[in-house]
Structure 1
Amino acid sequence: MNSIGNKIYNHDTDLDITHKINSMELTNWINHLQYIKKELSNFISICSKELNSKIESPVVIQRFKKKQKENDTLLNALLQYNGARAKIIECEDTECDMVYISEHESYRRSYIYHLDKYRRLKDEFFNSIKGKFTLLKMT
């Protein structure tokens, strides 16, 4: 592969295009995990303060903190992987390219699994607080 840039050109090979698309996808995953990191921090803060008396906060907080560690672990792994992808330009044969593609598929499965588990945790949280609050009318 000649370049790892993300712009796709007519003269790019199928492998070049695959690597570029994978790089764009990886950037999206990293951005999403960084957002989830902020969101988890907010959930933990809300459960620790505002919702403390309305929910089983020690259990909820513990589950959010566990997910926060898992998110950080995956985010750090993807950041390291992103740095290692710079060596794709050194690939001179298809076998080398396939190693990167296989590794990307493995990270894709990890990301999707993590996202699914996180969404389930959020759904459980919102279901657990549903109906426990009343809205104040502003006049």
Structure 2
Amino acid sequence: MTTLNTKIFNHDTDVDLTHKINTMELENWINHLKYIKKELVNLIGVCDKELNSKLKDNSVIERFQKKESENEALLSALLKYSNSRVDIVECEDTQCDMVYITEHESYRRSYLYHLDKYRRLKDEFFNKVQGQFTLLKIS
């Protein structure tokens, strides 16, 4: 996101500092969700091809597909939110700044909730498939 200069200066106010840190945090969230998107494609592919017959449980792949959809929705919302932050530099009063800060806190909670649910799903998956993979021996 290039809408806000994130370089920190000694003369930055606390509010400016908060906006810059929130911008950097938002960039990290977006990058992380993009990585999760790729990871989910791989996990769904592994389930579909390798493990579906061994697990005898379609709920695993269905839950990954649902999480993929949720991840895409959150990523889309964060990208839209990122674009809306262009106007932060136009804020002239504390009330305006607080709107952005409050909105960011709301997105932080959504992101952390999503991340927690994703990690739990992945942990459950790996616990379920432990020992189900067969390694190919290359001679």
After TM superposition, the score normalised by the length of structure 1 is: 0.93
For residues 56 and 125 of structure 1, the distance between their equivalents in structure 2, rounded to whole angstroms, comes to 13
2:67 counterpart residue number = 67
Question: Residue 51 of structure 1 contacts residue 57 of structure 1 at CA under 8 Å; is this kept in 2?
Answer: no
Unaligned runs of 5+ in 1: none
2:103 counterpart of 1:103: yes
Deviation digits for residues 50-85 of structure 1, max 9, x if unmatched? Answer: 222211352111000000000000000000000000
Amino acid aligned to 2:60:
V
How many pairs are equivalent? Answer: 137
2:76 counterpart of 1:76: yes
2:36 counterpart of 1:36: yes
Amino acid aligned to 2:25:
E
1:5 counterpart residue number = 5
For residues 85 and 104 of structure 2, the distance between their equivalents in structure 1, rounded to whole angstroms, comes to 10
2:20 counterpart residue number = 20
For residues 37 and 50 of structure 2, the distance between their equivalents in structure 1, rounded to whole angstroms, comes to 20
Unaligned runs of 5+ in 2: none
For residues 90 and 9 of structure 2, the distance between their equivalents in structure 1, rounded to whole angstroms, comes to 20
Pick closer, same or farther for the CA change 1:101–1:85 going to 2, 3 Å.
same
2:132 counterpart residue number = 132
Amino acid aligned to 1:36:
I
